[in-house]
């Protein structure tokens, strides 16, 4: 008493079709052109890597050809570049970085072990692209601290900037709380409250987190 078709031939056909779709899926799976090599945690750690930065005083060696293992890359656009740049720097506008021509060139430099120093107008302009390349695994790429603006100001004597720390960012220039101090006494009460609020709020937020929704 077999009420069902016992022959699984059609089943086999369907399952093989299913497998073929999956295999087709693997073939159509595009290998992305760029891939992060560093995880987010590694990327965050990299930011504190002193080796990843290039100081202006190090430029002196490059310019006097003592250190020939360094290629400078100017990320500003062609027009700005043509109006003045660090001698010997190549110009790859930030917009062209992913062009095959330039990207392959950078890859080649990477495989040769040449240090590439990115710079823009200031450090900020080159900082993003530098982080991007680092996350993609280009650990030969460094960022020029201070950028072109600092270089231009100090190009007469770069080695002197070893003592000058003004190009290193990420430090407060002022004593904020002193500067932003309220003017009269009545406001100083407000100020105190104001100072407390963030602390309270942070706690508030964390309690709601554990409470769930």
Partner 1 sequence: MKKEKLHNTPHYINPYLGGVLLGLLVIITVYITGRGLGASGAIKSAVVTTADAIYPEGARENPYYSRFISDGHSPMYNWLVFESLGIFFGGLLSGIIFGRVKKFRVEHSPKITSKTRLIVALLGGILFGIGSQFGRGCSSGAALSGSATFSLGGVIVMLLLFGTGYAIAWMFKKLWI
Partner 2 sequence: MNRNYIFLTLLMLLLATGVLFLPEKPEYKQTKPEDLLYEIIQPTRYVTTDQVAKMIIDKDPSLELVDVRDVNSFEKFSLTNAINIPLDSILSESNQEYFGIPGMKVVFYSDDDIKADEAWVLTRRMGYKDTYVMTGGLNRWIETIINPKMPPDDAPYTAFEQYEFRKGAQMYFTGVKIEAKTTKAKVTVHRKKKKAAPSGGC
Partner 3 sequence: MGPLIPNGVITGEWDFVIAILLGIAFGFLLEASGFSSSRNIAGVFYGYNFVVLRVFFTAVIVAMTGLLYFDYFGWIELDKIFILPTYLAPMILGSVIMGFGFLLGGFCPGTSYTAIAIGKLDGILFTVGLFIGIFLFSEAFPLFEDFYYSGFIGNVTLTDVTGIPAGWFAFAFTVIALASFWITMIIEKKVRKNIKEYKF
Question: Judged by CB under 8 A, which of 17, 20, 24, 124 binds partner 2?
Answer: 124
| Angle, CA of 48, 54 and 57, to the nearest 5° | 130
For residue 12, state whether it binds partner 2 (rule: CB under 8 A): yes
Q: Which one of the spans 22-30, 36-44, 51-59, 160-168 is the region binding partner 3 (CB under 8 A)?
A: 22-30
- DSSP result, 9-55: HHHHHHHHHHHHHHHHHHHH-PPPSS---S-HHHHHHHTT-GGGEE-
| Angle, CA of 166, 133 and 72, to the nearest 5° | 60
Contacts of 106 (CB under 8 A, 6+ apart): 73, 92, 97, 116, 133, 138, 141
Tell me how far, at minimum, the Cβ of 29 lies from partner 3, in Å: 6
User: What is the total count of residues that contact partner 2 (CB under 8 A)?
Assistant: 64
For residue 171, state whether it binds partner 2 (rule: CB under 8 A): yes
Q: Which two tokens stand for residue 141?
A: 């790429």
Question: Judged by CB under 8 A, which of 4, 7, 83, 87 binds partner 2?
Answer: 7
Distance CA 89, CA 86 (A): 6
Q: Which two tokens stand for residue 119?
A: 């710079």
For residue 15, state whether it binds partner 1 (rule: CB under 8 A): yes
Contact string (CB under 8 A) for partner 2, positions 19-38, x = contact: x--x---------xxxxx--
The structure tokens 């960022």 sit at 143
For residue 5, state whether it binds partner 1 (rule: CB under 8 A): yes
Q: How many CB atoms lie within 10 A of CB 71?
A: 20
For residue 101, state whether it binds partner 2 (rule: CB under 8 A): no
Give, in order, the Cα–Cα distances in Å from 145 to each of 47, 70, 95, 205.
13, 15, 21, 38
What residues between 18 and 37 interact with partner 1 by CB under 8 A? 18
Q: Kindly tell me which of 48 and 210 has the beta carbon lying closer to partner 3.
A: 210
Cβ pair 132, 87 in contact under 8 A? no
Tell me how far, at minimum, the Cβ of 24 lies from partner 2, in Å: 14
For residue 10, state whether it binds partner 1 (rule: CB under 8 A): yes
97 binds, among partner 3, partner 2, partner 1, none (CB under 5 to 8 A by kind): partner 2
Tell me how far, at minimum, the Cβ of 6 lies from partner 1, in Å: 7
Binding site for partner 3 (CB under 8 A): 1, 3-4, 18, 22, 25-26, 28-29
């Amino acid at each position: 008493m077999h009420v069902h078709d016992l022959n699984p031939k059609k089943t086999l056909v369907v399952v093989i079709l299913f497998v073929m779709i999956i295999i087709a899926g693997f073939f159509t799976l595009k290998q992305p052109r760029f891939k992060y090599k560093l995880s987010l945690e590694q990327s965050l750690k990299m930011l504190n890597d002193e080796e990843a930065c290039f100081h202006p005083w190090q430029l002196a060696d490059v310019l006097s050809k003592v250190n020939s293992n360094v290629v400078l890359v100017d990320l500003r656009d062609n027009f700005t570049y043509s109006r003045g740049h660090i001698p010997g720097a190549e110009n790859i506008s930030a917009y062209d970085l992913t062009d095959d021509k330039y990207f392959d060139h950078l890859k080649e430099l990477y495989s040769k072990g040449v240090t590439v120093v990115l710079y823009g107008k200031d450090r900020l302009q080159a900082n993003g692209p530098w982080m991007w390349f680092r996350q993609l695994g280009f650990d030969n790429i460094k960022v020029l601290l201070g950028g072109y603006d600092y270089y231009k100001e100090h190009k007469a004597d770069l080695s002197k900037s070893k003592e000058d720390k003004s190009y290193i960012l990420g430090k407060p220039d002022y004593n904020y709380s002193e500067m932003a101090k309220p003017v009269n006494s009545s406001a100083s009460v407000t100020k105190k409250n104001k100072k407390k609020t963030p602390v309270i709020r942070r706690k508030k937020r964390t309690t709601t987190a554990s409470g769930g929704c």
